[in-house]
Chain A
Amino acid sequence: MSEDVTLPLLQITEPGAAPEQTEDAPQAVAVGIDLGTTNSVIAVSRDGQPKVLEDDNGEALVPSVVAYAPDGSAIVGGLAKRLLLDRPESVVSSIKRLMGRGPEDVKSLAGVMPFEIEPYQEGETGMVRINVMGHRKTPVQVSADILTALKEMAEDQAGQAVEKAVITVPAYFDDAARTATKDAAKLAGLEVLRLINEPTAAALAYGLDQGAEGLYAIYDLGGGTFDISLLKMEKGVFQVKATGGDAALGGDDFDHAVAEYFLTERAKTLGEANLTRDEVKVALMTGRLAKECLTHEDSGEWVLESGGQTSKHALTRGDFENLIDAFVDRTLTICGHVLEDAGVSPSDVKGVVLVGGSTRVPLVRKKVEAFFGSEPLANIDPDKVVAVGAALQAEALTVGSDTLLLDVTPLSLGLETMGEMVEKVIHRNTPIPVAKAQEFTTYQDGQTAMMIHVVQGEREMVDQCRSLARFTLRGIPPMTAGAARIRVTFQVDADGLLTVSAREETTGVEQMVEVKPSYGLDEDEMANMLRDSMVHAKDDMQERLLAESRVEASRVLNAVVAALQVDGDLLSQEERETVDAAISALDAAIKGKQRETIDAAVDKLDKETQVFAERRMDRGIRSALSGVELDTLEQKITEE
């Protein structure tokens, strides 16, 4: 059916052309970061060779644990993790579970939460805030501390500044959690080139590094999140067919189950005891140690110490598997749904890739193998594969590449309608970027404002979905009820982030939209944090603006040079000299460091080429009318 394809509109530029480089700025290295619940990993790729960075002790896995000193300074990683047993009150772990979430999402053990939740303050968004060592922290700030530590580690090793990163998020992260992740990067002074989904990053690593082709399932069970993505990988195209998961299901739940079991046993002999928050942290840590041990051993014994009393607890692998069986089954139920969404059966799947530390648990491997009917792949270390994929993508985005990554929205996006029902605007598994519009009208005469509630999820009722934000539209021209036509547009970008805009169609007035994120940070809070964080000092801002001006100036310069090559004959010698002078001036300005000079030179070149542009348009329209251009085009098509 090749006769169907009549050929692309005109010529097409080189894909992935390398970006312009200015002389005094060496190509900054872009990193890939897997910001995990339990551990974080940072990797760099050069010439398609990804390398996972290691700390001074040769550890690639940096525990996502932060210890705070009374003065608020942060210690991140292995050292902080060791402090967990001695000084649990100063240590925060598994903060990822709270990204973009409210206090009601914090999971308790024996009725006690491992975080000290701060009371809600008037005017704040619903994002949970915790207290550590007397400091009020958002999960965004704690995550920013982890990112800062990773950034510094990379800078030490690269011997240069690291400012750009691809950061991975669970595919099933909702908009609030994604935004929180991006905000954390901003606080850490990192420009996020792209947020990519963890299973997609893993697929990228397998596809590019291991040459995997066909339909693959990526089973990603991390510390706090579960994702399953189905991808078609073919000739450098990574197309996500469907994705699903649970943003609150992971290895942490295994630790919880074991800790809960130990505590129940303990209560039988020592009686019920009210646990302190710190004792809860220790119990969870013990549960975790037991889990890790039972991955290799058939049985073991652990000691719990609290309130001056110790208790001993034995556990076999069989006992452990009974404790976590339901969790593993839940992941497989989700796998089933995703296969069905994609309209395929397990036998259509060519291979299953294991990602995430929790896939080390033998029961997980056994059950995944039984479900898909094939032995899962784990050639690349499940703890590092996501960071490797992120690093490969960071290189592809900055240096250029032929690889194409097509992802989808994990959850449906909708609006609250009458009767607290949800009207879906964008359905789950829709390829991104995507934009969809919906029309609304006023229900009262003279109504000038309207409230819009944006939710995310698959259920039909508002309270069963996740609230993302409330928007108030103002400035609707007063009309009779039902006469106004307000078009609300949902747009999801390549990072999977949603923006909403609104327009009154009969008058064409763009509406003012006030955003109140339900679980995010509003603009003021973000601005305050940026000011406080210091990393984002004024110099940084100036640097960024200068870089932006340079990119824009190079664009203008290249455009004019290209135009001169094609239509240079439209200028007299004198005119040409004027334009050339403006070009040289701009070229010199770009190499300098004055943003104002660059911007002025751009304006000057714009002005000097105005007549040239008009003549080019005249020529273009004339030749289109005479059909000359079309004839040559047709010729080209037949030649091909």
Chain B
Amino acid sequence: MTEIMHGQVEEQKESKAAVRVVPCWSCKGPVREGSPFCQTCKSVQPPGQVDHFTRFGLVPRFRVDVNALERQYFDLQRLLHPDRFVTKSGKEKTLSQLQATSLNEAYETLKNPLRRADYLMHLHGTDVLPNGCNLVNDQELLMEAMEMREALLEADSLEAVDQVGKQAADDIAECISALECSFADKDWETACRLTTRLKYLTKMADETKAHRNKLKSMS
């Protein structure tokens, strides 16, 4: 745990060194890049090219307190949502829409473990979704996916489907905690493999749900 903490402090320092000052479009004075408002004239600023974590004042890492993230999301939307800018100038309306759009995108990405893992891999330079990590040619993973699919195809009662569904849910939970470790250890290869696995598992869970509905509607 101390190692993880140490890693964070370093990352924080790095991100601070990158702070740049840009002119506010409204009062023309200096604004810290990525800041949603000008500290001088209070005008809303363009969302800028900051990563999803920085947008919420978070350090890029896999472990995220989703409840705290949601509170932060609400707090920022309260200030930036277009509903706050209905009586403002056209430019401010446009900027608030861009800000709110960026916030939605960031929130939707970070709150979902699969999308978050994929995004972290993307920040690291590897795209996993939609087709899976190309670094991975994993027989074990393929076998697992095939076996699950077979189990689902054979499940002809609600109980049997629920059994498959429970297995998928357990696997997802296990996969997520394994991802936490590999991201914390900066073991990108394992993280990439696990992200691909999480993608398969999530897909299985969705298919299980669809299969369950089909069975239910037939009965």
- Residues of A bordering B, CB below 8 Å: 1-2, 4-16, 19, 193-194, 237, 340, 396-398, 402, 404-406, 430-435, 491, 493-494, 548, 551-552, 555-556, 558-560, 562-563, 566-567, 609, 612-613, 616-617, 619-621, 624, 629-630
B202: interface (CB < 8 Å): no
Contact, CB under 8 Å: A433 / B35: no
Q: B101 to A491, Cβ gap below 8 A? A: yes
CB distance from B40 to the nearest CB of A (A): 5
Determine whether the beta carbon of B40 is less than 8 Å from that of A563.
yes
Instruction: Give the complex CA separation of A579 and B148 in angstroms.
Output: 73
Instruction: Tell whether B126 is near chain A: CB-to-CB under 8 Å.
Output: no
Interface segment out of the listed B16-24, B129-137, B175-183: B16-24
A555 touches B16 (CB 8 A): no
Residues of chain B with a CB closer than 8 A to A8's CB:
36, 57, 75-76
Q: Does B100 contact A (CB under 8 A)?
A: yes
Contact string against A for B residues 27-47, beta-carbon threshold 8 Å, 1 for contact and 0 otherwise: 111111011110111110000
Q: Could you tell me the distance in whole angstroms from the C-beta of A555 to the nearest C-beta in chain B?
A: 5
Question: How many whole Å from A403's CB to the nearest CB in chain B?
Answer: 8
Would B35 and A9 count as touching, CB distance under 8 A?
A: yes
Alpha-carbon distance A425/B59, docked complex (angstroms):
29
Contacts of B77 on A, CB cut-off 8 Å? 404, 406
Asked if residues B41 and A562 are in contact (CB atoms below 8 Å), the reply is: yes
Give the nearest-CB partner of B48 in chain A: A9
Contact B27 A5 (CB under 8 A): no
A552 to B58, CA, bound (A): 35
| A6 x B12 contact (CB < 8 A) | yes
Nearest chain B CB to A560's CB is how many angstroms away? Answer: 7
- Chain B residue at minimal CB-CB distance from A551: B89
Bound Cα distance A514, B144 (Å): 50
A560 touches B27 (CB 8 A): yes
- What residues of chain A lie closer than 8 Å to B34, measured between beta carbons? 9
Instruction: Chain A residues near B31: list those with CB within 8 A.
Output: 620
Best-buried of A4, A491, A566 by chain B (most CB within 10 Å): A4
Contact of A494 among B74, B76, B97 (CB under 8 A): B97
Is B88 interfacial (CB-CB < 8 Å)? yes
Can you show 29 pairs from A to B with CB atoms below 8 A apart?
A: A1-B65, A1-B68, A4-B58, A4-B59, A5-B68, A5-B72, A6-B57, A7-B57, A8-B36, A8-B57, A11-B37, A14-B42, A194-B83, A340-B213, A404-B83, A406-B81, A430-B104, A434-B104, A493-B82, A493-B97, A551-B87, A552-B90, A555-B88, A555-B89, A566-B29, A613-B27, A613-B28, A616-B29, A629-B32
Bound-state Cα–Cα, A616 to B21, Å: 11
A405, B74: Cα distance in complex, Å: 10
Q: Decide if B78 is an interface residue (CB 8 Å cutoff).
A: yes
* Alpha-carbon separation in the docked complex, A91 to B118 (Å): 58
Contact check: which of A2, A194, A548 meets B90 at CB < 8 Å?
Answer: A548
Do B68 and A624 touch (CB < 8 A)?
Answer: no
The answer to whether B186 has its CB under 8 Å from any CB of chain A is no
Contacts of B19 in A (CB 8 A): 624, 630
| Whole-angstrom CA separation of A340 from B27 in the bound complex | 49
Whether a CB of chain A sits under 8 angstroms from the CB of B156 is no
Complex contacts, B86 vs chain A, CB 8 Å: 193-194, 397-398
A350 → B minimal CB distance (Å): 18
Q: Would you call A433 and B41 a contact (CB within 8 A)?
A: no
**B64 interface residue (CB < 8 Å to A):** yes
Q: How near does chain B come to A412, taking the closest CB pair, in angstroms?
A: 15
Give the docked Cα–Cα distance between A524 and B41 (Å). 40
Determine how close the nearest CB of chain B comes to the CB of A10; give it in whole angstroms: 4
Contact B28 A621 (CB under 8 A): no
B167 at the binding interface (Cβ < 8 Å) = no
Selected contact of A340 from candidates B21, B107, B108, B209, CB within 8 Å: B209
Supply 15 further A-B pairs (C-beta < 8 A) apart from A398-B87, A562-B40.
Answer: A2-B68, A5-B68, A9-B34, A12-B36, A12-B37, A405-B83, A431-B104, A433-B104, A494-B81, A552-B90, A556-B26, A559-B26, A563-B29, A624-B30, A630-B16
Of chain B, the residue at the smallest CB distance from A563 is B27
A624/B40 in contact, CB under 8 A: no
Please tell me if B51 contacts chain A, counting CB pairs below 8 Å. no
Does chain A have a CB within 8 A of B79? Answer: yes
A493→B16 CA distance, assembly (Å): 33
- A12: which B residues are within 8 A, CB to CB? 36-37, 79
Is A396's CB under 8 angstroms from B27's CB? Answer: no
**Which among B57, B89, B105 is the interface contact of A434 at CB below 8 angstroms?**
B105
A10 to B170 Cα, complex, angstroms: 42
Contact of A16 among B12, B37, B40, B84 (CB under 8 A): B84
User: Is B81 within 8 A of A11, CB to CB?
Assistant: no
Contact indicator A563/B68 (Cβ below 8 Å) = no
List A contacts of B21 (CB < 8 A).
617, 620-621, 624
Q: Is B92 an interface residue (CB 8 A)?
A: yes
3 closest Cβ contacts across the A-B interface? A620-B30, A613-B28, A1-B65
Closest residue of chain A to B24 (Cβ to Cβ) is A559
CB atoms of B74 and A404 under 8 A apart: yes
Contact at A494–B29, with CB atoms within 8 Å? no
Q: Contact check: which of B24, B74, B78, B101 meets A435 at CB < 8 Å?
A: B101
Interchain CB contact (< 8 A) of B92 among A434, A555, A562: A555
Chain A residues, Cβ within 8 Å of B20: 624
Question: Smallest CB–CB gap between B56 and chain A, Å?
Answer: 8
B74 touches A237 (CB 8 A): yes
CA A359 – CA B159 in complex, angstroms? 37
- Rounded to whole angstroms, the CA-CA distance of A237 and B107 in the bound complex is 16
Report A-chain residues with C-beta under 8 Å of the C-beta of B72.
5
A2 to B86, CA, bound (A): 33
> What separation, in Å, do the CA atoms of A371 and B24 have in the docked complex?
54
- Shortest A442–chain B CB gap in Å is 23
Is the beta-carbon distance between A613 and B68 smaller than 8 angstroms? no
Q: Please determine whether A613 and B36 come into contact, CB atoms closer than 8 angstroms.
A: no
**Complex Cα distance A629/B104, Å?**
30
Q: A16-B84, A404-B78 are in contact. Are A609 and B28 (CB under 8 A)?
A: yes
Which residue of A4, A430, A609 contacts B68 across the interface (Cβ within 8 Å)?
A4
With contact pairs A6-B57, A8-B57, A9-B34 given, residues A397 and B83 touching in the complex (Cβ less than 8 Å): yes
Q: How far is the CB of A508 from chain B (nearest CB, A)?
A: 17
When the two chains form their complex, are residues A396 and B83 in contact, meaning their CB atoms are under 8 A apart?
yes
Residue of A whose beta carbon sits closest to that of B43: A559
Chain B nearest CB from A95 CB (Å) reads 28
Task: Kindly provide the distance from the CB of A430 to the nearest chain B CB, expressed in whole angstroms.
Answer: 7
Asked whether, in the complex, the Cβ of A10 is within 8 Å of the Cβ of B35, the reply is: yes
Query: What chain B residues lie within 8 Å of A548 (beta carbons)?
Result: 89-90
Q: Which of B16, B42, B64 has the most CB of A within 10 A?
A: B42
